[in-house]
Amino acid sequence: MTMIFSDADKAFAADVRDYLAANLPEELARKVRYNQRLTRDDYTGWQDVLAARNWYAVGWPAEAGGPGLTQTQRYLFERAYGALPCPHPCQFGIAMAGPVIFTFGNEEQKERFLPGIRENRDFWCQGYSEPGAGSDLAALKTTAVREGDHYRVNGQKIWTTWANWADWMFCLVKTDLQVKPQRGISFLLIDMRSPGITVRPIRTIDGDHEFNEVFLNDVMVPVENRIGEEGQGWTYAKFLLEFERFSMSGAARSRRVLSEIRADAEALGRTGDARLAERLTGLEIELLALEHMELRLLARSVGGENPGPEASKLKIRGTEIAQALSRLRVDLHAEDCLVHSDAFLDALEPSSNPAAGGAVATYLNQRKLTIWGGSNEVQRMILAKQILELG
């Protein structure tokens, strides 16, 4: 299965590649290459570079102020982007809040929120998971009780990535406790500076801080911050699961990581290591299968078909391959990975082998890939039920 890209599409891909390469700061590229910790400024500074070409909200249609790329261009963008050591852009505004707002919000809401997201002025986080509701969002407990023109919100969110940096949180809340759980959920936009919000950091096993708990204690949210109908939040959340399906595989990024590991192996004089060569080749073939699954799905989409939940297969294989690569990097650098300090992500200890510095932390951090974004178990459940029709 080969895609033949038009000359216009090829020119677009070249434009993306050239612009990103010319504007990616060397220091930032080095941080990404060596798996160092990025700051909020690293992300927002880079997102400004993207926003300058309207490529931050790269998946948005023209009506929403986005670049209105075709699906093929969207794919080519991801491929060019992943090939360079660019930071993975923060997704919660552009890939989640934005699409729900431009699909289900009213005109006033679109005018109020979309420019801030598109132009990278507002930092967003996602208030979905709760202590008792991870994979099972129907078990949400955070309540929003209508009081005049406000909702009074009480509850707790957890695993809220970058709540500590966020200006806004889009949030699933229960507005009706009487009906079936799926019917009583609403979608609220909450200003993170509202009184009654407390953010508590959760440190992860790699020593990083990106997850948080968010406590909502009598937080008053104006009714005009509700997107769509009361009680329809479940529908909007499900809609998001199928949006942006082409960024799910991470194939381009994995291909870059694979070539980095190859370069590291060469620098370490390990090109003659047959076992290592076998593993690299094996992973490359797995990656090739992923890329061609993705291309085939793209061809069907371009042909007007909606592959729907089938994109879950890309999430499953993409995250498994990314994890295997992070493991291979640890195996390659072996005892060099031992020189590790709490500060190593911010400032690498002088070492003859900088690629080893972040290898263990990355391996540990990447465990999240098969857990978040709908765990791989949930993705398999979706495929079993909806594609294989196993009840």
Partner 1 sequence: MSHLDDEIHMLAETVDRYVADRAGGRASGGDAWTELADLGWLLLPYPEAAGGLGLGAAGVSAVMQGHGRGLLPTPYLPFIVMAGGALARCPRAADALAAVMAGERRVAAGFAVGRPAAITAEPDGAGWRLGGTQPHVLAVDEADAVLVAARPGAEGGTGLFLVGLDLPGVTVETYPLPDGRRAGRVILNGVALPAADRLDDGDAAALLGDVETATLLAAAAENLGAMQVLYEETLAYAKLRKQFGRPIGSFQSLQFRLVDMWIKLDEVRSLVASAAAAGDGPEAAQLAVAAWIQSLWSGRSIGEEAIQLHGAIGMTEEHAAGRYVKRILVNELLFGAPERHFARYRSTMQG
Residues at the interface with partner 1 (CB under 8 A): 129, 132, 134-136, 138-139, 158-159, 202-205, 207, 211, 275, 327, 330-331, 334-335, 337-342, 349, 360-361, 363-364, 367-368, 370-372, 375-377, 380
- Which sign does the torsion angle of CA 226, 228, 232, 237 carry? negative
Q: How far is the CB of 361 from partner 1 (least distance, A)?
A: 8
Question: 95: which residues sit within 8 A by CB, 6+ positions away?
Answer: 59, 243, 244, 247
Q: Alpha-carbon Rg of the chain, whole angstroms?
A: 22
Q: How far is the CB of 208 from partner 1 (least distance, A)?
A: 9
- Which sign does the torsion angle of CA 269, 272, 274, 278 carry? positive
How far, CA to CA in Å, does 206 sit from each of 98, 165, 202, 257, 353? 30, 19, 12, 19, 20
Task: Between 154 and 375, name the residue whose CB sits nearer to partner 1.
Answer: 375
Q: Are 41 and 25 in contact (CB under 8 A)?
A: no
Q: How far is the CB of 129 from partner 1 (least distance, A)?
A: 7
Task: Between 150 and 340, name the residue whose CB sits nearer to partner 1.
Answer: 340
Residue 198 Cα to chain centre, angstroms: 24
Q: How far is the CB of 65 from partner 1 (least distance, A)?
A: 34
Q: How far is the CB of 378 from partner 1 (least distance, A)?
A: 9
Q: How far is the CB of 273 from partner 1 (least distance, A)?
A: 9
Task: Between 13 and 133, name the residue whose CB sits nearer to partner 1.
Answer: 133
Task: Between 132 and 308, name the residue whose CB sits nearer to partner 1.
Answer: 132
The whole-angstrom separation of Cα 214 and Cα 197 is: 7
* Residue whose pair of structure tokens reads 């291979």 in the numeric block: 328
Task: Between 73 and 319, name the residue whose CB sits nearer to partner 1.
Answer: 319
* Residue whose pair of structure tokens reads 């009780």 in the numeric block: 145
The whole-angstrom separation of Cα 120 and Cα 47 is: 6
Residue 127 sits at φ, ψ, to 5 deg, of: -100, 75
Instruction: Decide the pairing of beta strands 211-222 and 226-227.
Output: unpaired
Task: Between 66 and 357, name the residue whose CB sits nearer to partner 1.
Answer: 357
Q: How far is the CB of 366 from partner 1 (least distance, A)?
A: 10
Task: Between 76 and 140, name the residue whose CB sits nearer to partner 1.
Answer: 140
Q: Are 125 and 163 in contact (CB under 8 A)?
A: yes
Of 265, 261, 281, nearest to 273 by C-alpha is 265
The whole-angstrom separation of Cα 328 and Cα 339 is: 18
Q: How far is the CB of 332 from partner 1 (least distance, A)?
A: 10
Task: Between 138 and 267, name the residue whose CB sits nearer to partner 1.
Answer: 138
Q: How far is the CB of 367 from partner 1 (least distance, A)?
A: 5
* H helix runs in 219-358, sequence order: 233-242, 251-267, 274-302, 312-333, 354-357
Task: Between 68 and 131, name the residue whose CB sits nearer to partner 1.
Answer: 131
